[in-house]
């Protein structure tokens, strides 16, 4: 009878637990990899502005929610914040090559989304057709065009970076494609958003290193187009003339009503404000208290100090974003980061200028803070792109 000797049992490797522990430490190290100071500055200011905005939306709409549900409006805004903040950090983990490859698909998708405003889903409000309603939820597709256009401009100018001294290479395809995208917004008579989109195009061209003399003709054409579009609409023409009219008594019950109450709200706040939640203008005196004129509510309730805090947060955001533009060696990152920064900071200054009656009423929201889920979601996604770019910067040793 033949017996089979079982093979000797292999002794456990005493170093195996150490290897597993090392692998765990390496994995945790990747998660907690130090990030540049620009990353922390942009992320922290975005979160603070979003939280500040939710508080002010709650305060501005507390008189509109009714006794049954005074939190109705802020809860809707909070849903988009809960979606947007995780998406911002997910976007921050995506590589730069992903954003470069997705530029064309994102622009095509955002433009197709914008075209839905001309279908039965579209909604017209205050003379503009720039909203759609899906399953009871309203969206403003043009807000996503701002990020899509910034990414697309960066990808095109990156590919043509050695040919930007030629007018023909700058003209094609930027002018026809960019013009067609902006035209979809102008077709809905949303001049304010169209101006912001044109600002994104100009910022991308500037940060790409295009010669300044090439800006003269587009700037002149844009000025003529804006003047023609502004004067062709009776509503816009009335707003501009009321802005230029020094005697506001005649138009108090018409085109000056909202802008005057916005200024009065700021003035009544003084230095320290009336206190959070104590606004008087939000009680049906200021129609867009939670939207385009939320900065007036900030000034009324929190005073000059509250306004200064908002301006300081936007200034810190701009510092972090412009540091990315200055430090990077990648032309794509420079163009897209510059365009996004000019979009967000420039739109904030336009909104605040409208509240202060420095500009006529243009209907653009205050980024991060105005009520509007689509605007908040698009701005947080744009911050995620900036954070993705910030990860490419070298980390200063501590």
282, two tokens = 């939000």
247, two tokens = 């005697």
| Distance in angstroms (rounded) separating the CA atoms of residues 197 and 150 | 9
Helices (H), the chain: 16-31, 37-61, 72-92, 96-101, 103-114, 142-159, 167-171, 174-186, 191-208, 216-232, 234-244, 257-269, 294-327, 331-355, 373-390
| Distance in angstroms (rounded) separating the CA atoms of residues 252 and 122 | 31
| Distance in angstroms (rounded) separating the CA atoms of residues 105 and 395 | 32
**Share above pLDDT 70 across residues of the chain, in percent, rounded to a whole number:** 84
The string of pLDDT tens digits covering residues 250-296 is: 566 566 778 888 888 999 999 999 999 899 988 888 888 899 999 99
Question: pTM for this one?
Answer: 0.88
Domain layout of the chain by residue ranges: 45-390
Mean pLDDT of 308-314: 97
Mean pLDDT value across the chain:
85
pLDDT at 51: 97
Is the pLDDT assigned to residue 246 strictly greater than 70? no
């Amino acid at each position: 009878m033949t017996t089979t000797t079982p093979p000797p049992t292999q002794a456990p490797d005493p170093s195996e637990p150490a290897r597993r522990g090392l692998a765990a430490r390496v994995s945790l190290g990747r998660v907690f990899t130090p990030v540049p100071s620009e990353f922390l500055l942009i992320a922290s200011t975005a979160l603070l502005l979003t939280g500040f905005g939710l508080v002010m939306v709650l305060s501005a709409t507390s008189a509109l929610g009714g006794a049954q549900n005074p939190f109705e409006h802020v809860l809707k805004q909070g849903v988009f914040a809960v979606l947007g903040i995780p998406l911002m950090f997910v976007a921050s983990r995506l590589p730069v090559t992903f954003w470069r490859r997705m530029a064309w698909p994102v622009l095509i998708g955002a433009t197709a989304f914008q075209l839905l405003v001309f279908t039965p889903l579209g909604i017209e409000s205050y003379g503009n057709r720039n909203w759609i309603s899906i399953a009871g939820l309203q969206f403003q597709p043009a807000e996503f065009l701002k990020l899509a256009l910034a990414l697309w401009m960066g990808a095109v100018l990156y590919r043509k970076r050695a040919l930007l001294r030629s007018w023909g290479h700058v003209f094609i395809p930027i002018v026809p494609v960019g013009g067609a995208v902006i035209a979809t917004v102008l077709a809905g008579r949303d001049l304010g958003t169209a101006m912001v989109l044109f600002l994104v195009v100009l910022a991308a061209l500037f940060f790409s290193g295009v010669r300044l003399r090439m800006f003269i003709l587009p700037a002149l054409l844009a000025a003529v187009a804006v003047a023609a579009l502004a004067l062709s609409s009776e509503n816009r023409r009335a707003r501009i003339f009321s802005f230029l009219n020094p005697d506001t008594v005649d138009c108090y019950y018409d085109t000056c009503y909202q802008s005057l109450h916005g200024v009065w709200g700021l003035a009544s706040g003084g230095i320290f404000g009336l206190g959070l939640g104590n606004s008087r203008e939000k009680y049906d005196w200021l129609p867009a208290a939670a939207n385009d004129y939320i900065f007036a509510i900030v000034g009324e309730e929190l005073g000059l100090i509250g306004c200064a805090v908002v301006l300081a947060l936007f200034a810190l955001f701009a510092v972090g974003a412009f540091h990315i533009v200055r430090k990077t060696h990648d032309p794509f990152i420079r163009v897209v980061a510059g365009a996004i920064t000019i979009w967000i900071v420039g739109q904030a200054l336009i909104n605040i200028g409208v509240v202060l009656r420095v500009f006529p009423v243009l209907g653009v929201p205050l980024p991060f803070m105005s009520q509007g889920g689509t605007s908040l979601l698009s701005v947080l996604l744009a911050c995620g792109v900036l954070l993705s770019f910030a990860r490419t910067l070298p980390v200063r040793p501590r």
